[in-house]
């Protein structure tokens, strides 16, 4: 079995390249879910001074159990079952209480006998919409409709009808302008609005859920936690610390 801790320089000679990417977190973890390789962006996002402050530690060691436990459960699934995480939209929180959307990918690492020995992952900040793209104006009707109908959970069929585009055509344009599928973008819009209400108001959580189209508070809580690692109540407390 490969000793990732001892061999990281041999097996990851491109670590320095990831240090150049200020919008991308890069990491390699061992079978215990502990960091063995990280880039400088992750160090800064964790509010630490050097890579050595991260190596050998797990997310819960750095971010507390309430947030770290969800990341570790995600890691365990990759490490135990070999299930990759591909382009998962997530809302990350940082020690300074700032938040930001990213696309996360995690893949298992295998030795020469086919056994899992760790995982590698990146989380790339979601880029700003490309308002100079030719398709941006063509999507205005979709954007405006969603912005004014968050409480009714806009469906893909409605958006295709409004834009007069097929699902494939709409998704292609959304990816070019927003870097997301239509479904991911709608989810982001809904959870952005919910996050603002949780942080800036004292509106009951059941009302926050209703305001973005959830009739069931528990369904909203599950979706919110899947995207952020926080329950809505924990997120509200985090934002008001």
The predicted-structure confidence for 92-108, as pLDDT tens digits, reads as follows 876 666 778 999 999 99
C-beta separation of 58 from 65 below 8 A: no
In angstroms, rounded to a whole number, what is the distance separating the alpha carbons of residues 92 and 100?
Answer: 5
| Least confident stretch, 73-87, 103-117, 210-224, 225-239 | 225-239
Architecture per CATH, 4-125 = 2-Layer Sandwich (3.30)
Question: Residues in the chain, how many?
Answer: 241
Contacts of 99 (CB under 8 A, 6+ apart): 91, 92, 93, 195
Fold of 137-239: Arc Repressor Mutant, subunit A (1.10.10)
pLDDT of residue 217: 94
The share of the chain scoring above pLDDT 70, in percent, equals 91
35 or 14, higher pLDDT: 35
Q: Where are the domains of the chain?
A: 4-125, 137-239
Confidence of residue 138 (pLDDT cuts 50, 70, 90): confident
Residue 100: the pLDDT is 87
């Amino acid at each position: 079995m490969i000793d990732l801790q001892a061999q990281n320089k041999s097996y990851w000679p491109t670590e320095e390249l990831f240090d150049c990417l200020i919008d991308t977190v890069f990491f390699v973890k061992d079978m215990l879910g502990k960091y063995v390789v990280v880039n400088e962006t992750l160090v800064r996002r964790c509010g630490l001074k050097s890579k050595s402050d991260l190596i050998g530690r797990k997310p819960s060691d750095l971010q507390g159990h309430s947030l770290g436990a969800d990341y570790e459960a995600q890691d365990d699934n990759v490490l135990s079952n070999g299930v990759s995480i591909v382009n998962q939209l997530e809302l990350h929180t940082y020690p300074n209480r700032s938040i930001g959307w990213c696309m996360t990918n995690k893949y298992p690492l295998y030795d020469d006998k086919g056994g899992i020995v760790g995982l590698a992952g990146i989380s790339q900040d979601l880029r700003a919409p490309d308002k100079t793209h030719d398709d941006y104006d063509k999507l205005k009707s979709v954007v405006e409709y969603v912005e004014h109908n968050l409480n009714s959970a806009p469906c893909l069929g409605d958006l295709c009808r409004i834009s007069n585009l097929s699902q494939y055509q709409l998704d292609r344009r959304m990816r070019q302008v927003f870097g997301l599928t239509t479904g991911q973008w709608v989810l982001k819009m809904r959870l952005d609005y919910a996050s603002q209400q949780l942080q800036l108001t004292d509106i009951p959580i059941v009302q926050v859920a209703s305001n973005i189209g959830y009739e069931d508070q528990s369904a909203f809580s599950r979706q919110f936690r899947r995207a952020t690692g926080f329950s809505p109540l924990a997120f509200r407390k985090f934002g008001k610390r």
